[in-house]
Amino acid sequence: MGVMNVDSLLTENVAPPGLKGVIVADTEVGSVRGDEGWFHYRGHNAAELAREHTLEALAHLLLVGHLPDCTAEEQFRAELAAARRLTGEAADLIAALARTDMPSMSILRSVLGMEVDPRPTLDLEHDERRAAVMRAIGITPTVLAAVNRIRSGVEPLASDESLSHSADYLRMTLGRAPLSQHARAVETYLCLTADHGFNASTFTARVITSTGTDVGGAMAGALAALAGPLHGGAPGRVLDMLRAIGHPDNAVPWIAAELDAGRKIMGFGHAVYRAADPRSETLKAVALELGGDLVDRALDIESRILGYLAEWKPNAVIVTNVEFYAGVVLHLAGLPQEAFTPTFTTSRVVGWGAHLLEQAANNKIMRPSARYTGLLHNGD
């Protein structure tokens, strides 16, 4: 019996590891221009939108296709507020699962299966798909806030339809009406992170949608991707890093030891950006407005880490990414660390919805190939 290696048999159309830089679809939702240090939602500068508009306005832009006027924004806000309501059955399920060891993102996946239209997107009209997407976006903050409350030993709160989506999420998580500056700080973060190109979770949502399955199923797959610490789990780890460093004088020795041990430095570096991450720059300004000792230490530590990284890899461009100041801002707004990734989810589900609708509207199942690198066994 003979063997042969088949690397040489498949040489054309081989993608780089992680599909880096490979274009796999057309989209009108938005894109990231990492070399220029900016990203957009449907052609609008996303960082500017986050500074000037509400989350409802941005969600309307992403899902409907254009920024709303005042009347349309109020109608959209009311629709989204109604979508935050939970059924009694869903509330019972959350209460039961929150008392287990199941991660909050996994609990949300279970509730999506119960609360979102289970019919395949292939069998739905656009308006029906959009209604299912709105339901998924609406219940996400309600579910995640409820899980956090139950695990903190207190009763969950029902949604308040008089509040904005971001303010109500903060209220349901904290158990009290948030300060206006905290609500706006969190809303700015949510606006900045609603969409960001073909990241791992968004690509997952589109691949699953391409099979024609239900909205809840596609969202569940995206949630599983976002739960990974290399995707949605970094803000909390940044806060851990700041606590571990303590005084800024300890920043360089701490970072040097981490790099020598081969560990990743959360909050620095990005797969796409080769110029300043506009999300980080915007959140840095929000952090400065909130002020305090943590902000002062974070600024000093950031400067020292960037200086060290520039010497460590002089030929690389390593920038501060969104997670660094996200951890600071979310902490100052009163959110517990275990709520950081759920907060990210509350925004990114909007982008998933936009991509899901776009994929379903002009669908072709995604079926790439793999390069087999093992051996072929030939008979005698």
For 27-56, give one letter per residue: b (16+ CB within 10 A) or e.
bebbbbebeebbbbbbeeebbebbeebbbb
Which residue type occupies 173? T
Choose among 146, 149, 148, 190: nearest CA to 166: 190
Question: Which residues are designated catalytic?
Answer: 270, 323
Burial of 80 (0-12, 13-18, 19+ CB in 10 A): buried
Burial of 206 (0-12, 13-18, 19+ CB in 10 A): buried
Burial of 340 (0-12, 13-18, 19+ CB in 10 A): buried
Q: Please say whether the dihedral angle defined by the alpha carbons of residues 38, 39, 45 and 48, taken in this order, is positive or negative.
A: negative
Categorise residue 73: left if φ over 0, alpha if ψ from -120 to 50, beta otherwise: alpha
CA 298, distance to chain mean position in Å, is 22
CB contact at 8 A, 352 and 215: no
Helices (DSSP H) in the chain: which residue ranges?
A: 46-52, 55-64, 70-83, 88-98, 104-115, 126-151, 165-174, 180-192, 200-209, 215-226, 234-245, 251-260, 278-290, 293-312, 322-332, 340-361
The CA-CA-CA angle for residues 230, 199, 103, to 5°, reads: 45
